[in-house]
């Protein structure tokens, strides 16, 4: 009895210590469970039977609260988008997970992200063991994301301030491209920088009407196939191309 009571006390002490070390751990786990439920509800549209274990682990590991303002920490693990300033948002966790999983990434691949935002999506990608190149057009957001990603040790992520519509040709070609803002067409420069066999996930549609999450694949001959997955709502992709 004494040994059993001692073990209970030790286990209880460890639980308290772990909670103190990471007070958001339980909230992250609950968030991932909500994402799992959304995957089940949209399995037919996503053509994915369930949330991939690697994506779930990444989302359980990456501290989403560190990618939003302090006054939003209490909402960080709700399954909804949150504002990050300059009219931009950090995407809903379900959407982050869906876009990540649709890229079908393998460790060591090179991924271009258009729209760094707060850096959360880049951190999730890096947690999957890929090399991330991410571009943000809003300089204060890009600078803050660069500092944040460096502070948390995401050495696999390289950031750039610039117009993501034109991609990052000096770092291409890419195995996968993820665009986190809506365009009414597929940017030709991004398509050009996608490797044969590569995948792109992008919301397509007008900013104030319906948008669809689209998956593009490029085959060995450079032919492109597209699939419309599910309706979404993203902020518009901005840049020089808008002023033509």
Q: pLDDT at residue 11 above 80?
A: no
Tally of domains in the chain:
1
Residue 150: partners with Cβ closer than 8 Å, 6 or more residues away? none
Look at residue 37 and tell me if it is in a domain: yes
Q: pLDDT at residue 240 above 70?
A: no
Look at residue 174 and tell me if it is in a domain: yes
Give the pLDDT of residue 206: 85
DSSP state of 176: E
Give the pLDDT of residue 224: 94
DSSP state of 89: E
For residue 209, what are the domain limits? 24-237
CATH number, domain of 198, equals 3.40.50.150
Look at residue 79 and tell me if it is in a domain: yes
Are 178 and 121 in contact, with CB atoms under 8 Å apart? yes
Q: What is the DSSP string of 182-218?
A: BBSS--HHHHHTEEEEEEEEEEEE-TTS-EEEEEEEE
Look at residue 10 and tell me if it is in a domain: no
Residue 164: partners with Cβ closer than 8 Å, 6 or more residues away? 114, 115, 135, 136, 137, 179, 181, 237, 239
User: Helices marked H in the chain — which ranges?
Assistant: 2-21, 25-41, 43-46, 53-61, 93-102, 120-127, 139-151, 188-192
Look at residue 100 and tell me if it is in a domain: yes
Q: What is the mean pLDDT of the chain?
A: 90
Dump pLDDT digits (tens) for 100-130. Answer: 999 999 999 999 999 999 999 999 999 999 9
pLDDT band at 2 (very low <50, low <70, confident <90, very high): low
Q: pLDDT at residue 149 above 60?
A: yes
Enter the tokens of residue 198: 């590569």
Give the pLDDT of residue 15: 40
Report the percentage of the chain scoring pLDDT > 70.
89
Give the pLDDT of residue 16: 41
Residue 239: partners with Cβ closer than 8 Å, 6 or more residues away? 137, 163, 164, 165, 166
- Over residues 140-144, the mean pLDDT reads 97
Q: pLDDT at residue 20 above 70?
A: no
Dump pLDDT digits (tens) for 36-60. Answer: 999 999 999 999 889 999 999 999 9
Pairing status of strand 157-161 against strand 174-179: unpaired
Just list the catalytic residues.
Answer: 91
Chain CA centroid to CA 173, Å = 20
Dump pLDDT digits (tens) for 80-106. Answer: 999 999 999 999 999 999 999 999 999
pLDDT band at 73 (very low <50, low <70, confident <90, very high): very high
Q: pLDDT at residue 27 above 90?
A: yes
Predicted TM-score of the model (pTM): 0.89
- Distances from the Cα of 21 to the Cαs of 148, 177, 208, in angstroms? 20, 35, 43
- Over residues 205-231, the mean pLDDT reads 91
- Over residues 160-173, the mean pLDDT reads 97
């Amino acid at each position: 009895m004494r040994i059993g009571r001692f073990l209970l006390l030790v286990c209880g002490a460890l639980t308290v210590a772990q909670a103190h070390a990471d007070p958001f751990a339980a909230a992250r786990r609950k968030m991932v469970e909500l994402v799992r439920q959304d995957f089940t509800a949209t399995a037919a549209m996503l053509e994915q039977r369930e949330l991939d274990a690697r994506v779930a682990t990444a989302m359980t590991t990456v501290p989403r609260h560190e990618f939003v303002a302090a006054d939003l920490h209490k909402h960080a693990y709700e399954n909804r988008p949150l504002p990050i300033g300059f009219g931009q948002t950090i995407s809903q966790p379900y959407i982050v997970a869906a876009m990540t999983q649709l890229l079908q990434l393998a460790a060591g691949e090179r991924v271009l992200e258009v729209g760094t935002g707060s850096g959360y999506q880049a951190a999730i990608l890096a947690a999957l063991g890929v090399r991330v190149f991410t571009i943000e057009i809003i300089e204060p957001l890009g600078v803050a994301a660069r500092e944040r990603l460096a502070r948390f040790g995401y050495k696999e992520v390289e950031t750039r301030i610039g117009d993501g519509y034109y991609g990052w040709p000096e770092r291409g070609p890419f195995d996968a491209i993820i665009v986190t803002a809506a365009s009414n067409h597929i940017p030709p420069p991004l398509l050009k920088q996608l490797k044969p066999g590569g995948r792109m996930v992008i919301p397509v549609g007008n900013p104030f009407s319906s948008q669809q999450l689209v998956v593009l694949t490029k085959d060995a001959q450079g032919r492109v196939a597209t699939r419309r997955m599910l309706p979404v709502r993203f902020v518009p992709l901005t840049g020089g191309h808008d002023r033509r």
